[in-house]
């Protein structure tokens, strides 16, 4: 955590966003090529009637016609997601917007944190769930939101809640939020195309007759290419390094000057953060506890224990132990409450 400055992290996130924007057309073309090979293998697309190489060459020539259509569809998808991402997230999580009069103390905490960094106050949203979790969302200034669960509000004291809000504000400041949403949009498009390949194979296997002597190899090659695209969609989420949570914890300490409150909040959240939502959205949560070897391998968050250890080592925080034995921090905060 000490070796990664906040400004360096912002630059890294901007670089990732650029790479995603550049790399997406390449991956989209690759997945489309795989889809065409599979369809040709099953006889849904015409073949050359010649060798395997000639069939592959014919599939490549078809890309000239399919890429423009795919790009138009992808752009429409991207535009809808760009302008409607918050509505989609609200629908998937049950979050609803609240005003200052609804949650004055919570709103004041968030507003003062934003003012302390010269930022426009994000919209405050609440999920009526007993789970203890929170996340930031939004793509551009004026459209950012911070969402917390009702369970989190009930469980945390003022200092702990301030630390969590500061953690989410740091995601906004560092541009983590924008990078996550762009990656989710692209990963979603690639995932849908790959699923078309897989489901097409399932239904076509009992459907049309095969009139292509190269059908088997074409299907295998197309399947392999689609598998690469599917794995890439997962890697997109993985490349959004788990270090962003360490940096956000550090940013919370920088904003509040209270590492003990961040540690205490994490202790209370630990084991109580489960909240139903698609994987892409769960990647934005304060904590995304996963179980089992596979989940751990593709985890989007470091463990609570590792995050607390980092806060103790680099920020001088004190661990109150398990949440049953936790006590409210008496440390002062750097952000005044109006």
100's CB contacts (< 8 A; 6+ apart) are: 107, 108, 111
Q: Would you call 168 a catalytic residue per the annotation?
A: yes
Within 205-323, residue ranges assigned H as helices are 215-239, 243-256, 259-269, 279-282, 293-297, 304-315
Distance CA 136, CA 148 (A): 9
- Going by C-alpha positions, the residue among 198, 270, 282 that lies closest to residue 240 is 282
Angle, helices 215-239 vs 6-41, to 10°: value is: 170
- CA 252, 257, 261, 267: dihedral to nearest 10 degrees? 50
E strand or H helix at 188, and its extent? helix 176-204
Distance CA 221, CA 53 (A): 12
HSE-CB at 254 with a 13 A cutoff on CA atoms is 17
Distance CA 229, CA 222 (A): 11
Angle, helices 259-269 vs 304-315, to 10°: value is: 170
- Going by C-alpha positions, the residue among 32, 88, 22 that lies closest to residue 277 is 88
In what order do the strands lie in the sheet containing 96-98? 96-98, 123-127, 145-149, 134-137
E strand or H helix at 149, and its extent? strand 145-149
The DSSP secondary-structure symbol of 120 reads P
Token output for 21: 């924007």
Q: Exactly one of 168, 245, 291, 305 is catalytic; which is it?
A: 168
3-state SS assignment for residue 287: coil
Cα 224 from chain centre:
26
Distance CA 245, CA 305 (A): 13
E strand or H helix at 194, and its extent? helix 176-204
List active site positions: 168
């Amino acid at each position: 955590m000490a070796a990664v400055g906040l400004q360096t992290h912002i630059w890294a996130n901007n670089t990732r966003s650029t790479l995603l924007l550049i790399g997406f057309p390449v991956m989209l073309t690759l997945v489309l090529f795989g889809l065409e090979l599979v369809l040709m293998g099953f006889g849904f697309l015409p073949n050359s009637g010649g060798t395997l190489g000639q069939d592959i060459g014919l599939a490549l020539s078809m890309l000239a016609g399919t890429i423009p259509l795919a790009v138009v569809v992808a752009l429409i998808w991207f535009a809808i997601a760009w302008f409607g991402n918050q509505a989609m997230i609200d629908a998937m999580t049950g979050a609803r917007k609240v005003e200052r009069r609804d949650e004055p103390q919570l709103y004041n905490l968030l507003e003062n944190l934003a003012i302390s960094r010269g930022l426009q106050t994000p919209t405050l949203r609440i999920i009526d769930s007993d789970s203890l979790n929170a996340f930031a969302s939004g793509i551009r200034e004026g459209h950012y939101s911070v969402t917390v669960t009702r369970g989190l509000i009930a469980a945390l004291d003022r200092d702990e809640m301030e630390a969590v809000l500061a953690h989410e504000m740091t995601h906004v400041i560092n541009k983590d939020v924008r990078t996550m949403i762009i990656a989710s949009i692209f990963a979603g498009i690639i995932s849908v195309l790959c699923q078309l390949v897989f489901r097409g194979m399932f239904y076509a296997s009992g459907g049309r007759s095969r009139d292509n002597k190269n059908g088997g190899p074409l299907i295998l090659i197309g399947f392999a290419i689609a598998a690469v695209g599917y794995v890439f969609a997962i890697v997109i989420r993985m490349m959004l390094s788990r270090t962003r949570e360490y940096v956000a914890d550090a940013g919370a300490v920088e904003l509040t000057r209270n590492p003990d409150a961040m540690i205490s909040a994490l202790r209370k959240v630990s084991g109580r953060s489960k909240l139903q939502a698609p994987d892409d959205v769960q990647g934005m949560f304060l904590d995304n506890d996963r179980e089992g070897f596979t989940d751990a391998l593709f985890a989007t968050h470091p463990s609570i224990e590792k995050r607390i250890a980092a806060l103790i080592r680099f920020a001088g925080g004190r661990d109150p132990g398990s949440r049953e034995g936790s006590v409210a921090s008496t440390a002062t905060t750097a952000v005044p409450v109006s």
